[in-house]
Amino acid sequence: MALKLYGAALSPCTSRVMTCLHEKETDFELVPVDLFAGEHKQLPFLAKNPFGQIPALEDGDLSLFESRAIAAYVAEKFKETGSDLIRHQSLKEAAEVKVWMEVESQQYHPAISPIIFQFFAAPLQGKAPDQAIIDENTEKLGKVLDVYEDKLGRTKYLAGDFYSLADLFHLSFTYYFMKTPCAHLINERPHVKAWWEDISSRPAFQKVASAMNFGEKGN
Amino acid sequence: MAAIKVHGSPLSTATRRVLACLYEKEIDFQFVPVNMATGEHKSDNFLALNPFGQVPAFEDGDLTLFESRASANYVAHEFADKGTQLLISGSNKEVAVLELWKEVEAHQFNTPSSKVVWELFFKPFLGMATDAAVVEENETQLGKVLDVYETRLTQSKYLASDNFTLADLYHLPNIQYLLATPAKKLFESRPHVDAWVKEITARPAWSKVLAMMNQ
């Protein structure tokens, strides 16, 4: 029975999981959740994620939420197929991957997410992006990216000379970030820029990137 | 090429206000998407259309407008004999009632409803935390406004008259987003407001506005 992923193709968290599923060459069904109707805040979806956020995953009788936990489960379950994302054959390498997965979650995401929010959501209600919030977070993100620039000058990818789940976790939010006027933060750091161009050109991500067009559609 | 152009985003509340009017009037128009994530609404080209750098901007041949309510109002007048009648004609006294409820939307309904939409709909979209105090304050304020609407809608089928007019239409964008949040309870607990909300959001012209998201 195929995995069922409840979410929306334009959502960066749903895309995080879909990218992982594509890297593992695993079949799945994307079950759309209508965010614009508030479907994620009501039953039956709330039974799948009491926090009312997408995505959620069903694998038989197992029900999961939190995109990073779902992706880690997928990477573990299908560790013998597709790209090696978790380096399970080397305890040391696996530990390095976990370090940079935490860095994405604790350092990178809190700085990048408010910037994206200001540029994508604020104008839809006629608000100008809050420059104070943008400035505060571009400064934070710049410091994080300085660490990345240094690391990526020594290893090809974040956890080592191998692509891993740690790199994958950065893809979907960075993709939206690169559409904003703050993209220069990535582009002006040569190792970070090269890393971004490499990981975002992977076929598994290309498959989900084209649907990530929040706020862009029109007839 | 259509003489009428709307520059904006299919998700933007103000853009939707103008689109709703054009669909009600059955007017051909060209939709020009503005990519706000890239800051396109602050570009020189767009600022020439709206110096405030907000969507939508509206063109009809050599006429350029901004402010969604002014743009919709122009369409309703210019094409008065097409599609749905969105205005009240008659004496100054009769027309004044429409103007009154348009003002109510702008000055009473818009602010608290927009704040609730921001907190309960847009913020959670990219995982931002909702400010519960702001929600509570604005839901309370919105409730008071809707109490007035509840009384009004026992006297009149729609806000300004027994027919759907611009005054009702102006509410649609914020109502639609509120319906996707727990704040919809504010409608559900007021039977006349609830019936009015269901009526106006079921209009075919409004469904066409929503369908633009998927194109």
- pLDDT, one tens digit per residue, over A62-90 is 999 999 999 999 999 999 999 999 999 99
CB under 8 A, 24+ apart: contacts of A170-173:
A170/A104, A170/A108, A170/A199, A171/A15, A171/A16, A171/A19, A171/A199, A171/A200, A171/A205, A172/A12, A172/A13, A172/A15, A172/A16, A172/A19, A172/A208, A172/A212, A173/A12, A173/A109, A173/A112, A173/A113, A173/A116
> How far away is chain A from the Cα of B12, in angstroms, using its nearest Cα?
4
**Residue entry with tokens 């399970």:** A88
Is residue A38 predicted with pLDDT exceeding 60? yes
How does DSSP classify residue A60?
T
Rounded mean pLDDT for each run of 10 residues along chain B, 215 residues in total: 89 97 97 92 94 96 97 98 96 96 98 96 85 97 98 98 98 97 97 98 98 86
The larger pLDDT score, comparing residue B100 to residue A1, is at B100
The pLDDT score that the predictor gives to residue B124 is 85
Q: What is the pLDDT of residue A217?
A: 61
CB contact under 8 A, B122 and A125: yes
Q: Which residue has the higher pLDDT, A132 or A215?
A: A132
User: Nearest to residue A113, comparing CAs of A80, A144, A83?
Assistant: A144
**What architecture is domain B4-86?**
3-Layer(aba) Sandwich (3.40)
Phi first, then psi: give them for residue B157, nearest 5 degrees: -65, -40
Check CB contact under 8 Å for B122 and A121.
Answer: yes
**pLDDT for the residue B1:** 54
Which whole number is the average pLDDT over A21-36? 96
At residue B112, the pLDDT reads 98
- Write the residue in B53, B128, B181 that is nearest to A41 by C-beta: B181
Q: Do A215 and B181 touch (CB under 8 A)?
A: no
pLDDT above 50 (res A219): no
pLDDT digits (tens, 9 = 90+) for B134-159: 999 999 999 999 999 999 999 999 99
CA distance B128 to chain A (A): 7
Q: Does B33 touch chain A (CB under 8 A)?
A: yes
Q: Measured between beta carbons, which residues in chain B are less than 8 angstroms from residue A127?
A: 118
Helix (H, G, I), strand (E, B) or coil at A62: strand
Q: Is B13 close to A125, i.e. CB distance below 8 A?
A: yes
What's the average model confidence in pLDDT over A3-12? 96
Nearest CA among B22, B23, B98, B110 for reference residue B58? B22
B204 touches chain A (CB under 8 A): no
Write down the pLDDT at residue B43.
93
Which of B31, B34, B36 would you mutate first to test chain A, the one with the most A CBs within 10 A?
B36
Residue B41: closest C-alpha in chain A: A123
Look at residue B213 in the predicted model and tell me its pLDDT.
86
- pLDDT at position A125, please? 87
Q: How close, in Å, is residue B185 to chain A by CA atoms?
A: 13
Q: Within an 8 Å CB–CB cutoff, is residue A126 touching chain B?
A: yes
Q: Is residue A211 packed enough to be buried (19+ CB in 10 Å), middle (13-18) or exposed (0-12)?
A: middle
A218 pLDDT higher than 60: no
- Say if the Cβ atoms of B212 and A218 lie within 8 Å: yes
Looking at residue A77, its amino acid is K
Domain limits, chain B? 4-86, 92-206
pLDDT at A26 over 90: yes
Instruction: Say yes or no: A113 contacts chain B, CB-CB below 8 A.
Output: yes
Q: Which residues contact A216 (CB under 8 A, 6 or more apart)?
A: B33, B35, B37
Q: Which fold has domain B92-206?
A: Glutathione S-transferase Yfyf (Class Pi); Chain A, domain 2 (1.20.1050)
CB pairs under 8 A between A and B: 99
Residue of B nearest to A123 (CA): B36
Taking only residues 116 to 135 of chain B, the set having a beta carbon closer than 8 angstroms to any beta carbon of chain A reads 117-118, 121-128
Instruction: Round the average pLDDT of chain A to a whole number and report it.
Output: 95
| Cα separation, A159 vs A167, whole angstroms | 8
At how many degrees (to 10) do helices B172-179 and B13-24 cross?
Answer: 120
**Is residue A101 over pLDDT 80?**
yes
**Contact list, A125 vs chain B (CB under 8 Å):** 12-13, 114, 117-118, 122
- Spatial strand order of the sheet with A28-32 comes to A28-32, A3-7, A56-59, A62-65
Residues A147-164 have pLDDT tens digits of 999 999 999 999 999 999
- Can you give the pTM of this predicted structure? 0.90
Q: Which residues between 142 and 181 in chain A have a beta carbon less than 8 angstroms from any beta carbon of chain B? A: 176, 179-181
**DSSP alpha helices (H): ranges in A78-189?**
91-103, 109-120, 131-152, 165-168, 171-177, 184-187
**Mutate: best of A10, A124, A216, partner B, most B CBs <10 A:** A124
